Homo-oligomer: A and B are copies of this chain.
Amino acid sequence: MALRASPEQREEKERTRKSLLDAALALGVRHGFASLGLREVARAAAIAPTSFYRHFADMGELGFALVHERVRPVIRELATRAVAGDASGMRTRLVDAVLVAIDREPEVVRFLLSERVGAFERLRQGLAEELEVLATAIATTLLASGQSASRGPGQARANLAAQVALAVLLDGFTRILDGDPERRGEQRRTLVAALGWALAGSRKE
């Protein structure tokens, strides 16, 4: 190489890095992320333990990468869906996006839910910041559709509704992840109803 690595080398390194992140997610779902070891992750990624250091200084740095590179896109997708229409259809748009996220990347969702209340404060803060983006998106759509502004101070009511809706969404993630996969239809209906309830607040549903 010398000053720069070739594209092939950079791709190769990126593949190894990706396999480390994937391995950490897969193992974390089983044993918990906090108890994950560097050697354990390297082994699952099929590299020598010492090679781990070519990508991350320690497991904490890997956790931070998971937040930024894996969790963030999932939450941003939800936020995009929230603002991709008016408030009346937001319930179903969000719930559908939740189900897609759980189907595609259940480990990422589990990581989000776990570390949001986990032991590492930096991860908790990072995830809280990401979730704030989603809350803002929900509040924006509510305000824009004027559905919450009909009474009282609009912004405050929209924020309140968004906070409650976010709590319901995260609760829904948990229930569906731990629930029976056979009963997705019922789970979906319940979550749509709960989210509608959360978004409606004191207005007519």
A residues sitting closer than 8 Å to B (CB atoms) are 28-35, 110, 113-114, 116-120, 124, 128, 160-161, 163-164, 166-168, 170-171, 174, 178, 190, 193-194, 197-198, 200-205
Q: Are A178 and B128 touching (Cβ within 8 A)?
A: yes
Chain A to chain B: the 7 pairs with minimum beta-carbon distance, closest first: A32-B119, A32-B34, A167-B171, A202-B205, A35-B35, A113-B117, A167-B167
Q: CB within 8 A of A164: which of B35, B118, B197, B204?
A: B197
- Complex contacts, A119 vs chain B, CB 8 Å: 28-33, 35, 114
Q: CB within 8 A of A202: which of B29, B163, B203?
A: B203
Q: Are A174 and B34 touching (Cβ within 8 A)?
A: no
